[in-house]
Amino acid sequence: MRAFIFPGQGSQAVGMGSALSAASPHAREVFQEVDEALGQKLSKLMAEGPEDQLTLTANAQPAIMANAIAVLRVLEKEAGLSLADKADFVAGHSLGEYSALCAAGAIDLATTAKLLRTRGEAMQAAVPVGVGAMAALLGVDVEKAQAIADAAAEGQVCTVANDNDPSQVVISGHREAIERAIGMAKEMGAKRALLLPVSAPFHCPLMQPAADAMAEALGGVAIQGALVPLYANVTAAPAGDPELIRALLVEQVTGMVRWRESVLAMQAAGVTSFVELGGKVLGGMVKRIAADAAVISVVSMDDIEALAKTL
């Protein structure tokens, strides 16, 4: 069995999608559709920068999604492969869940782009700049990371945001609490703790205003049944029903990204092969979670051609 997986924030880079766009009219169509949906030349920003503008959450989220869907569109149109035929499940890391749902036909491309623009803006606006922070704890499991977060909280928000793999857990919350956690992490068993260059404390209770905004935005959106089930971030379990998907996308804004558990659950369900579309971040995580799984990351035309030969 096979899962198609989609990367989250941090996968953006100036130049993303440029070579694929130059090589394929189908990729260009995706970028053009996203540009039109947003009323912005996002594809130009992706191709040329500046980097600080591309990194803004409201731009990075739809850009990463557009890049992943462009890869899929080329795979489907030029290699003649269908996700519904070649994938048993889809999953995405944080915003990648929207890419996965778009890929699986649950939400159309233009709507997905608009939702991610709203999500990015709402997440940025939820907490004043400087009030929140995130940190990566390396060399600890999720239980140890939560113990560090609990010890550092001192009445503030400090909690696990991303359970990425057995050796990397991300915490999120008030800046002071995150800085305390970094200070005590080594003596509590972490190999390293480092502040992340993010503009807001994602996936923690401080994001509740953004969750409210997404509940309103998603309430007016048509969600179809997914062609293949989505392994959801907040449950690490499959979801296909449109109303369940809608609820999980709202919960995801403040909830923990249970990526390690999701990969293990997919493996337990029979998945032996993971295909990452539009990035090269999740592949490494998957290998650290499920060492015997086959993993391929697909970004370029060469990657697409190589994958097409194996499917």
The Cα-based distances of 267 to 39, 232, 239 in angstroms read: 40, 14, 16
Q: How far, in Å, CA of 51 to CA of 131, rounded?
A: 23
159 - beta bridge partners?
A: 172
Sequence-distant (6+) residues with CB within 8 A of 87 are 2, 3, 4, 104, 228, 275
State the Cα–Cα distance between residues 100 and 168, nearest whole angstrom. 23
Token pair, residue 124, equals: 């940025």
Tokens of 42: 């996002």
Catalytic residues: 94, 203
48 phi and psi angles, rounded to 5 deg: -115, -10
Whether 259 contacts 163, CB under 8 Å? yes
Three-state SS for 49? coil
